């Protein structure tokens, strides 16, 4: 794994990213997986995050594990999460050594959703962790397409895996899949190149999030009807990470989470949309806002609670959704 990262980033001069930050986050995913497998009771923790969302005991545990991992990475100077949505300096542990040269050459801000899909943990469905890594001391008011240099999606299912996307200036964009062993929690590169496939496709997949919005949006209802009529295969779990990773595993798929006047945007750009968009783009796909068709990574973040809808997946499918949803029926949502 370390050799793979070194090869991908050899021309970019990012030793802290490939030798410290990414390994620490992958190790954290292993720790979260172990915690989930021994958390036989999933219950409300009796607290709420800053957005007012009730926290589960596993949310709190995952948050702490990510924070502890970042404390071991001197190059990570700031972090924020969906559970604590404010960029704060990272307080490093005593054993996190760093030279003055290293401190000045690489500085990162990490924004993360420690446990995405907590509402489907109780039935024991696959859930994930979403992490975005940004150049500099803040992710806010920065151009995401340029300043977000890496993203990690941890996947907790029958196996523990992670999708790692890299788009570092001076190096070729890359997306790979890593397996994490159940016993030794070592990292194994499963796929060194994760890419959406080229047409023709043997099977086409769709994941219609916020499906109730079809009752409010004729264009969304038409889109769903088209998928059914064209015999697309439905693959929707209710979890953003497993649904996107399913498309990456199959080489085809489109995830649609629209916005209507009654169904407002819920996905947070900093903690969910930007990392997902980087992964999708590095795999050769597209990720856009369904309201205006703009690329997710085109607009700087004004705050930690910026929200939007999402359409992502295979390029031609995203283009088709854009044409369908950007009709007059959704003009009132702009």
Residue range 230-243: mean pLDDT, rounded: 97
Q: At CB < 8 A and 24+ separation, what contacts does 223-231 make?
A: 223/256, 223/321, 223/324, 223/325, 226/324, 230/204
The H or E element containing residue 224 is helix 218-229
pLDDT at 134: 98
3-state secondary structure of 70: helix
Q: Please, what is the Cα angle at 279 between 128 and 256, to 5 degrees?
A: 75
Cross-strand partners of 162: 154, 178
Structure confidence by residue, pLDDT tens digits, 134-191: 999 999 999 999 999 999 999 999 999 999 999 999 899 999 999 998 666 688 999 9
Residue range 35-62: mean pLDDT, rounded: 76
Residue range 100-128: mean pLDDT, rounded: 85
Measured distance CA(317)–CA(300) in Å, rounded: 25
For 94-107, give the DSSP string: TT----HHHHHH--
pLDDT at 128: 97
Measured distance CA(257)–CA(300) in Å, rounded: 21
Residue range 20-29: mean pLDDT, rounded: 95
Round the average pLDDT of the chain to a whole number and report it: 90
Is beta strand 205-208 parallel, antiparallel or unpaired with respect to 233-234? parallel
Residue 93: pLDDT band (50, 70, 90) is: confident
pLDDT at 334: 43
Whether the pLDDT of residue 98 is over 60: the answer is no
Q: What is the pTM of this model?
A: 0.92
| Residues 6 or more apart whose Cβ sits within 8 Å of residue 289 | 295, 296, 308, 309, 310, 311
Residue range 69-75: mean pLDDT, rounded: 97
pLDDT at 39: 79
Peptide bond between residue 200 and the one before it cis (omega within 30 degrees of 0): yes
What domains sit in the chain, N to C, each tagged with a CATH number? 2-191 (3.30.540.10), 205-333 (3.40.190.80)
Residue 297: pLDDT band (50, 70, 90) is: very high
| Helices 274-282 + 240-250 axis angle, to 10 | 0
């Amino acid at each position: 794994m370390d050799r793979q990262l070194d090869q991908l980033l050899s021309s970019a001069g990012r030793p802290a990213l490939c030798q410290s930050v990414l390994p620490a986050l992958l190790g954290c995913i292993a720790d979260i997986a172990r915690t989930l497998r021994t958390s036989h009771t999933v219950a409300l923790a009796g607290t709420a995050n800053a957005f007012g969302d009730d926290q589960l005991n596993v949310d709190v545990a995952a948050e702490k594990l990510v924070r502890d991992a970042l404390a071991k990475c001197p190059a990570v100077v700031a972090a924020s999460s969906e559970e604590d949505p404010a960029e704060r300096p990272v307080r490093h542990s005593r054993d996190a050594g760093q030279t003055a040269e290293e401190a000045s050459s690489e500085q990162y801000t990490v924004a993360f959703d420690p446990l995405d899909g907590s509402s489907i943990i109780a039935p024991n469905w696959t859930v994930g962790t979403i992490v975005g890594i940004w150049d500099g001391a803040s992710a806010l008011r920065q151009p995401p397409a340029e300043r977000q240099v890496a993203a990690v999606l941890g996947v907790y299912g029958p196996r523990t895996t992670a999708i790692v996307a890299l788009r570092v200036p001076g190096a070729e964009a890359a997306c790979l899949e890593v397996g994490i062993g159940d016993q030794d929690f070592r990292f194994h590169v499963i796929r060194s190149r994760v890419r959406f496939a080229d047409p023709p496709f043997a099977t086409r997949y769709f994941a219609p999030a916020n499906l109730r919005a079809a009752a409010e949006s004729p264009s969304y209802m038409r889109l769903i009807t088209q998928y059914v009529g064209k015999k697309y295969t439905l693959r929707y779990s209710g979890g953003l990470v497993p649904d996107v990773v399913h498309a990456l595993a199959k080489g085809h798929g489109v995830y649609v989470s629209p916005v209507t006047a009654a169904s407002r945007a819920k996905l947070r750009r900093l903690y969910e949309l930007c990392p997902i968009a980087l992964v999708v783009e590095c795999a050769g796909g597209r990720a856009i806002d369904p309201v205006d068709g703009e690329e997710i990574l085109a607009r700087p973040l004004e705050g930690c609670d910026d929200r939007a809808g999402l359409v992502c997946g295979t390029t031609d499918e995203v283009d088709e959704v854009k044409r369908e949803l950007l009709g007059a029926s959704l003009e009132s949502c702009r």
